[in-house]
Chain A
Amino acid sequence: MRYAILFIAILCTGSLYAVPVHAQLDFGTVFSLAIAPEYPEGRDSVRVTAHSSLVDLSTETLIWYVDGVETASGVGLSEIDVTAGPLGSNTRVEAVLSEGGFKRALAEAIIRPVAMDVLWESDSYTPPFYRGRALPSAGTNLLVEAKPYFRNTNGSNVPIEDIVFTWSKNGYAVAGVSGKGKNKVTLPSPSLYGSDSVSVKARTLDGVFAIEKSVRIPSTEPLLNLYEDHPLFGTLYHRALGEQTVIFGEETSFTAIPYFASALNPNDRSLQYEWSVGGTPIENSLTQPNTITINARGSSGNAFVELLLSHASNLFFRADGSWNVQFSSQAPGAFGLPFTNTP
């Protein structure tokens, strides 16, 4: 399980309990507990270690209790492994420093499993009905969302509005996006060929729950694919043209799709298409510059299509592609196979 565990209370750090059970405690002893890792996975083994700045624990007898049950004891036994409970549970770990049957000091920790997912996607362009993730490229934005699971013992979740989020990018706090209830941020995508580490720390106002998590997000180069724009079936997004493609018919329209580009749609005015066929530049359609229609009547039937895509304001944006299209008069046979291609 991925439930990270919060060690929220390391008690008795320089303080002693004025309760009957601690009546014999030796005032002045500094005794505390720590867990490792700080945010371990849920139901994993959590190592609890006792520390003291004044007492040599290797020569002392320690008695360990988990939820009130003695689980281990021994001289120099300064650490134990505890299995965390499920989300919403509290596991109380106590260590007692014992000497001659008397309890000199006690330290306590409460392990509360917590979890947090950090999800992200980009606002880059993907075509309609695309089932994959929109990936970030230079010039696009990252949409990041943290989903913490701070579950109380009564089963209720701490509302997002009661959690303070602190966002940082590559180790530096991001101004203006952190604060109470701010579990969603929009950040600039990583630069070309780069990657960013985005971290978020979530903490309740009372400090009972806290967790921190980081994700590394790489930048992606925009990708240019060419698809047939069929008069009956629309753009055939399920069949990208390969380097060598055979088209049945004399005239066919093609649509270029700039995956992960910084654009609202493929005909975004910021995108600049430069088409050429057989080395000859082709004038773009005014309304659909990402579409080209090729009529092979009276020609050899081969068309070498090249496309260069750039961005009006993003100098780092560039994508290109070339496709060798052979038009064939041979009947396609089956109705649904308008062309074949060779990747």
Chain B
Amino acid sequence: MQLSRTLKNILIAGAIAIILGLAAWYFYITAQQRAIEQQDAARGFGTPTQSFESSLGSTYENLVSNISSTFDGGTEEKTATKAPQLAQVTASPVAGANFIGSGTSTRLRFVERSSGFVFDADPQTVELTRLTNTLVPIMHEALVVENDRLIVRGLDDNGAIATFTAQIVSTSTSADLQALVLTRLPNDIKTIAAHPGGEGVFYIGEGAQGAVGIRSSWDLSEQTPVFTSALAGWNAFWLANDRIVLVQRPASGILGYAYGITSGRLSPIAYDVPGLTLLPHPTTTALLYGASSGSSLSLSAQIDSSSSAVTLPIRTIADKCVWSPAESAVAFCAVPQSPTPSSFLDLWYRGETHTADAWWRIDAKAASVELVFSPNTSVDVENPVINKNGTHIAFMNAVDKSLWLLRIAE
């Protein structure tokens, strides 16, 4: 009996000890978890559970957790309402953007500069969807084309320009996020342009006697030299009519030239223009070109190759313009609202000056201009693109590389 009572007490004491031990372990683990969460929070990892489970992912959530404060109501509320006429798509710097698809399926696709992640934005609501989970850090440039294809450009460890063709592909590991499959092109490509449909690339690389322009299939299996030059400094466009346009890189007051390459034949399209910036029409031979010299800044339009150019009554550069796909010979240009400094083009390219732009509509046939939108906030427009319906223009703000969306028609 005595033995039984002793055994009973031992068992009770043991049970109590086990319970206390478990309780202590629970509190210890809880404290550790809290400490870890506090450390994570201190590092900025504020929403780990939501991040991993959402379509946007942790890195993006961390990045935009600061951004949402700049939006009206933050990301979640933004998705529920129609975007204002001018909306900031993301305050995080982007490498490049373009509209994909058409009609109601139109999306604004962009590449985040810090991560190389690809996102889609709904032009109506500016709701964001992250598409890829392949980390490609610090992308300086990105060209976005159809068929889930992109060109992304950054710097390698030696400071050389690294250029990749990229394809968004589905993976078996994630239902929501896809991979970005990269194919590296030769180093130090100065200029590259993508076929609008993603069927190929044109780039200028180093050749035996200077620069050589290569027209390549997307997978780089077929490469054809179509252009050689002693000069490497060109900006390139690949137009929808399979025409490639090369514009010599400009400097204020220095004569510039532009050429079209069709079927391997080089033909001049603009010449002897100081500080030449040029925007070819994607489907016709119409041109917008800017001239910059000293404090002079002008923009001219030419509706076809046989017509004379007319100088428009606005002072801007062709880099800030985009042709409308919805109207013939109509373009939209961002125009500095204040006088620009002397040698503006050079200063702007070097990031030494910025502008506060308003949007104007250009009728090249009538040589007339009309103010479309004057924003309340200061935006320095660069790399503008327009959707196929001609209702939205997206552009980067050269001040901070943020991405903006302007609605110009319903």
Contacts and interface: CB of A to CB of B under 8 A. Distances in A.
Contacts of B63: 335
Nearest to B353: A343
B113 interface: yes
Given A143-B230, A215-B255, A234-B140, A130 B349 contact: yes
B209 interface: yes
A192 interface: no
Nearest to B249: A133
Contacts of A239: 351, 399-400
Contact of B93 (A2, A259, A336): A336
Contacts of B66: 334-335
A168 interface: no
Interface of B: 63-64, 66-67, 69-70, 91-93, 113-114, 138, 140-141, 153-155, 159, 161, 209-210, 229-233, 235, 248-251, 254-257, 266, 268, 271-272, 319, 345-346, 349-353, 398-402
A282 interface: no
A2 B272 contact: yes
A221 interface: no
A94 B241 CA distance: 44
5 contacts: A119-B248, A128-B159, A143-B210, A145-B231, A336-B67
A121 interface: yes
B249 A225 contact: no
A307 interface: no
Contacts of B230: 119, 143-145, 184-186
Contact of B351 (A121, A145, A186, A236): A236
B349 A336 contact: no
Contacts of A265: 159
A334 B400 CA distance: 10
A186 to B, nearest CB: 8
A120 B249 CA distance: 10
A132 interface: yes
Interface in A126-152: 128-135, 143-145, 147, 149
A296 B231 CA distance: 44
Given A129-B140, A133-B248, A133-B250, A334 B353 contact: no
Contacts of B232: 121
A245 to B, nearest CB: 12
Contacts of A145: 210, 229-231
Contact of B249 (A121, A185, A232, A242): A121
Interface string A206-238: 000000000100000001010100001110111
Given A133-B254, A143-B230, A238 B138 contact: no
Contacts of A95: none
A117 B64 contact: no
B70 A334 contact: yes
A169 to B, nearest CB: 16
A105 interface: no
B352 A225 contact: yes
A337 interface: yes
A147 B257 CA distance: 11
A337 B232 CA distance: 33
A333 B70 contact: yes
B161 A132 contact: no
A233 to B, nearest CB: 5
Contacts of B402: 334, 336
B276 to A, nearest CB: 10
Nearest to B396: A238
A240 interface: yes
A259 B350 contact: yes
Interface string A109-130: 0000001010111000000111
A64 to B, nearest CB: 29
Contact of B161 (A128, A232, A234, A267): A128
